[in-house]
Amino acid sequence: MRPELLAPAGSPEALRAAAEGGAGAVYLGWGAFNARRGAQNFSQEEFAQAVAWCHVRGVRVFLTLNILLSDRELPEALETARTASRLGVDAVLVQDWGLFDLLRRTLPDLPLHASTQMSVFTSGGACEIAADGCERVVLARECSKEETAAICKNCPAQVEAFVHGALCMCYSGQCAMSALIGGRSGNRGRCAQPCRLPYGVNGAAKNQRPLSLKDSCLADHLGEMAEMGVACLKIEGRMKSPGYVSAVTNVYARLLEEGRRPTAQEREVLERAFSRSGFTDAYWGGTKGPEMLGFRPENAEAAPAVEAPRREEGRVPVRFTCRVEAGKPCLLTAEDPEGRAVTVSGPLPEAARNRALTPEDLAARLSKTGGTPYRCARADAYADPGLSLSAAAVNALRREALEALSAARSQPPKRREHFPLPPLPEQDCSQEEPRFTVSVLTAAQLTGGVLDLRPARVYLPLELLANVPSLPETEAEYCAILPRVWRDRDEDLLRRWLDKARTLGASGLLLGNLGHFPLARDGGWRLYGDYGLNVFNSRSLDYLRKKGLESACLSFELRFSQIRDMKKLLPAEAIVYGRLPLMITENCLIQNSAGCRCDRPNFLNDRTGAAFPLLPAFGHRTEVQNSRPLYLADRPYWRQLGLCYARLRFTTESPEDCARLCRAYQEGAPAAGEFTRGLYQRGVE
């Protein structure tokens, strides 16, 4: 079955370019809650018109509500989805767990798609969100051909994959670089794209772009994607011009219709529309490396704002059936491919004075549908002999029938609504003062000085637990941190490591991805949520509580006041010390820039002189840390927010520094050296 082609519509003009260029569906933003808040987007009136206009033309419309939402924003976001549903939107893309849960409960017939911001890259993660009621899963851009095929095979939900457009260096939904450096959150639709700026690695010249990837182009792989069962091919670009949307959509529509690869001329069209030093298909091929890097000069010409050419094959095929009988009003029925049929009547035919109307004449007149979204696929005409009907009457009949058919095609479906909002549970897990937890990166950091803090929990990477002979005795609960990024093929190894962790005395697991749930569930572990789950509101806590978590770490993009006002339906944790993670990347930034030297300190250097530590992550990936650690020991307000746990996150600190910092938090000592207060007070856009 041919996959659906999904094109971006950042404006009404881009929407028209996408639809007339051959897209089977478009995705667009309306309101304040979408991941491209810098695009022109749509007003409510424009959105209503867009849905009707697209549905007449057989184009589906998906609304993007794919950002993290605060408690105060959830009701408005839900009302946006409710209005969109009433207008007939075909699906809503969601990132936030709380909104997802609310939509499933209040608008059960509205199809939901898991945004790529949910960071789904395993079969387990895809099946988990499908079991919760998601119709389609948008996979991480980093998934290879083999990984995508496995998810298509294993997941009952539809699978959507990006085929063209910009690549972020960080996994979508896991990037905090824009937020922590400039206060503009990618998780809130305000990414400032710091990855496109110049940097150096390990003191090298700071005019390189080690975080800027070429745009993806999978035009050569559409056939294999269709064969493996990818349901939808997505073009990125809601910030792009209508000219870009027109050019790219036209090429991909032709390739899908004709079942072939692009010609040299079509490749040139794609590259002229927009590229960063060319294109890459490395992730799809299961490779990575510095050849994926690319950037676009500031003086590069933008794609011309051209009018999308009208594509005859993109018009809706209609079957006409017309009867012209003596003494009866003429009747015309128009039927679309989905079986919708409308019938309209016209004037009584007159007796022919000269040439009588023939069925062939009538069929020829009906087939003239130029200037409409329709084309005549078949015209069955019946005319009694000796009758006459003017061309104007036939034209009016055809026009009235197509208008009635358009009204039928744009009629919103009837969907159930369960309002008012379901109440949150009454339970309150808040505490007067939080207990400390500690996460370490190395065994050497776990000193007596750290354990003297009497932490409630000690978090250690699962990879570390797999390679240490024993752990110090402590009253703290040992918990394994599951890798933030992995693949289906890694899960047997991870299960063996979990068995080893249990023998060392670990009893808890820290989950940072939806795919961790099926990996960890039913193993007798106590399950806790990590920051990678992006918990931003009370409803998200409720959703994760129902999935079996016993506590959850809140997003460090929240303000203190938002944490304070959040209903603690689970014991809540916040990071109060440490270098906060800015990115996790499929590419090893160290390998790309300096060769394999992951066994020693490595840094990303920006133009201001800031040095961001680069830490190796599971699977030869890289986690970029903030240049300055978060320090709040002398700002005790975090103790008064109802948190159950306050985490000290040790990464690059020496064992002596870890012990010193634990004492500092016990004593409320003032900060020394360079540090940051994070986003807890200033918040993010």
Helix axes 44-56, 12-20, angle to 10 degrees: 10
Residues 13 and 146 in one domain: yes
Q: Give the DSSP H or E segment for 201.
A: strand 200-201
Q: Are residues 475 and 485 in the same domain?
A: yes
Do 12 and 114 sit in the same domain of this protein? yes
Q: Are residues 42 and 102 in the same domain?
A: yes
pLDDT band at 79 (very low <50, low <70, confident <90, very high): very high
pLDDT of 312 over the 90 cut: no
Main-chain dihedrals φ then ψ at residue 582, nearest 5 degrees:
-95, -40
Average pLDDT (355-380) is 95
- Residue 20 is assigned to a structural domain of this protein: yes
Q: What are the strands of the beta sheet with 621-625, ordered from one edge?
A: 200-201, 603-605, 611-617, 621-625, 581-585
Same domain as 223, residue 173: no
pLDDT digits (tens, 9 = 90+) for 543-574: 999 999 999 999 999 999 999 999 999 999 99
Residue 204 has a pLDDT of: 76
Return d(Cα 525, Cα 517) in angstroms, integer.
11
C-alpha radius of gyration, the chain, whole number: 29
Same domain, 194 and 319: no
Please report the pLDDT score of residue 305 as a whole number. 46
What tokens appear for 364 in the block? Answer: 């020829």
Q: Are strands 374-383 and 350-351 parallel, antiparallel or unpaired?
A: unpaired
Which CATH number do you get for residue 118?
A: 3.20.20.70
Q: Do 126 and 15 reside in the same domain of the chain?
A: yes
The reply to whether 472 falls in a domain is yes
Give the total number of structural domains in the chain.
4
* CB contact set of 291 (below 8 Å; sequence gap of 6+): 280, 282
More confident residue, 295 or 211: 211
Q: What is the CATH number for 523? A: 3.20.20.380
Instruction: Look at residue 349 and tell me if it is in a domain.
Output: yes
Residue 303 placed within a domain: no
Whether residue 308 is predicted with pLDDT greater than 70 in this model: the reply is no
Number of residues written out for the chain: 685
Q: What percent of the chain has pLDDT over 70?
A: 97
Question: What is the pLDDT confidence band of residue 464, given thresholds at 50, 70 and 90?
Answer: very high
The model carries a pTM of 0.95
Residue 631 in any domain: the answer is no
Q: Are residues 321 and 369 in the same domain?
A: yes
Please state the rounded mean pLDDT for residues 116-125: 98
- Among 43-47, 174-178, 627-631, 651-655, which stretch is predicted with the lowest mean pLDDT? 43-47
DSSP characters over 434-502: PEEEEE-SSGGG--HHHHTT--SEEEEEHHHHTT-S-----SSEEEEE--SS--GGGHHHHHHHHHHHH
Identify each DSSP E strand in 482-620 by its residue range.
508-511, 526-529, 551-553, 572-578, 581-585, 603-605, 611-617
pLDDT of amino acid 35:
58
Per-residue confidence (pLDDT) for residue 596, from 0 to 100 = 76
Q: State yes or no: pLDDT of 304 exceeds 60.
A: no
Same domain? For 245 and 163 the reply is: yes
684: pLDDT confidence band, cut at 50, 70 and 90? Answer: confident
Residue in the block written with tokens 């009906």: 366
Q: How confident is the model at residue 625 (pLDDT cuts 50, 70, 90)?
A: very high
Span 216-240, pLDDT tens digits: 999 999 999 999 999 999 999 998 9
Domain identity same for 558 and 650: yes
**Which domain does 335 fall in, by range?**
315-409
The Cα–Cα gap between 130 and 291 comes to: 35
Query: In which element (H, E) is residue 161 found?
Result: strand 158-165
Q: Indicate whether 235 and 131 sit together in one domain.
A: yes
CA 683/CA 458 separation, integer angstroms: 28
Any bridge partners for residue 676, and if so which? 630
- Whether residues 569 and 449 fall in one domain: yes
